[in-house]
Structure 1
Amino acid sequence: MTTTEGQLRIIRTFKAPRHLLFKVWTETEHLSKWWGPKGSTLHVAKHELKPQGLFHYRLTNPDGHQMWAKFIYREIDAPEKLVFLNCFSDEEGNTFPAPFGPEFVDFPLEVNHDISFAEADGGTTLTITVGPHNATPKQQAFYQSMFESMRQGFDGSFDELDGYLAELQ
């Protein structure tokens, strides 16, 4: 994990070819198997893999708590690059503030995810850079204060992804 200019960068290598890793990031049937916190289930309401297309989904945690979110795809360059905004939303897909209580009032409404996929030595190195989009200085500062928590969240999701990739190969 590194941080630059208010963004979090995580680099992780997966034991899978680049085309497969890109596929599990962009196809509904695969995203629903690994995206989200460990133990959660994902319901896909809509998925349009195209620039300005929407991936709208609901996560249900093991305790039954549900939250809606969405990706708005900005750039798709298979199998090398994927860029999207990630936002919390309501059931209709309207952008919505973080649903975690008043202490998260300054969480940015939109977070940009820039992901590159580089094949090397029989695996694929994924570099993901995430940072606030159209955020106020207060939102940017709050986001930066969350880096360690976000790193742990990505690590958990990427552990799920590792397990899922092992099942596919």
Structure 2
Amino acid sequence: MSAKVEITHTFNAAREVVFKTFTQAEHLRNWWGPKGWDFTISTFEFEQGGIFHYSQKSPDGDIMWVKFIYDEISVPEKFVYTQFFSDKEGNVVRAPFHDTWPLKMQNTFTLLEHDGKTTVTMIETPVSATEEELQTFVESQDMVQEGFSGTFNHLEDYLLKKPN
């Protein structure tokens, strides 16, 4: 296993529509994150160097804060961000589910359209991780796959509602 996770999902929607659902707060708030969790956006600036800071509240009341910093944006085919778990103020904190999870991850999303359908490929890699953090990430790849697959399924359901 390598220290990266790659997930590909094809959506029955045009690339521009799929890109908007990832890059506009009014769409993200309707589908991002685990099913059944409350999702609240604190800051959303979709621009290079911009910030997406949000919280997710589980059904049992646990709250997790996450922050993205957008590294690269190429409309409508690609965006790259560095993400980390944070506190309410946006400071880097350890993942709430594992003491040796990498502090920062980089996610690269590419969107390719063919015959009116859009294939999204997401690659997640640890940033400046220790050997122990890399090992934790490698051992947790099924969890990452499952989490993003569930999120992509939420997006698929949202796209059926025909967002603009």
1:78-157 alignment runs, 5 A limit: 78-100=75-97, 104-157=98-151
Question: Which has more helix, going by share of residues?
Answer: 1
Structure 1 stretches lacking a partner, 5+ long = none
Provide Cα deviations, 1:64-98, integer angstroms capped at 9, x if missing partner: 21111111100010100010011100000111110
Amino acid at match of 2:64: M
2:13 is equivalent to residue 19 of structure 1: no
Runs of 4+ with >4 A deviation: none
Q: What CA RMSD, in Å, does the superposition of the two structures yield over aligned residues?
A: 1.0
TM-score norm. by structure 2 comes to 0.96
Provide Cα deviations, 1:23-62, integer angstroms capped at 9, x if missing partner: 0101111111111111112100001111111000010112
The answer on whether the counterparts of 1:32 and 1:41 sit within 8 Å (CA) in structure 2 is: no
SS of 2:29's equivalent?
helix
Provide Cα deviations, 1:132-162, integer angstroms capped at 9, x if missing partner: 0111111111101001111111111111100
Structure-1 separation of matches of 2:74 and 2:122:
15
Structure-2 separation of matches of 1:115 and 1:69:
18
Amino acid at match of 1:168: K
Equivalent position to 1:77, from 74, 77, 87: 74
TM-score norm. by structure 1 comes to 0.93
Structure 2 stretches lacking a partner, 5+ long = none
- Which residue is 2:42 aligned to? 45
- Which residue is 1:158 aligned to? 152
State, as a whole percentage, how many aligned pairs show the same letter: 39
SS of 1:58's equivalent?
strand
SS of 2:161's equivalent?
helix
Higher RCO (CA-CA < 8 Å; seq separation 6+)? 2
Structure-2 separation of matches of 1:167 and 1:148:
29
SS of 2:132's equivalent?
helix
Structure-1 separation of matches of 2:161 and 2:120:
19
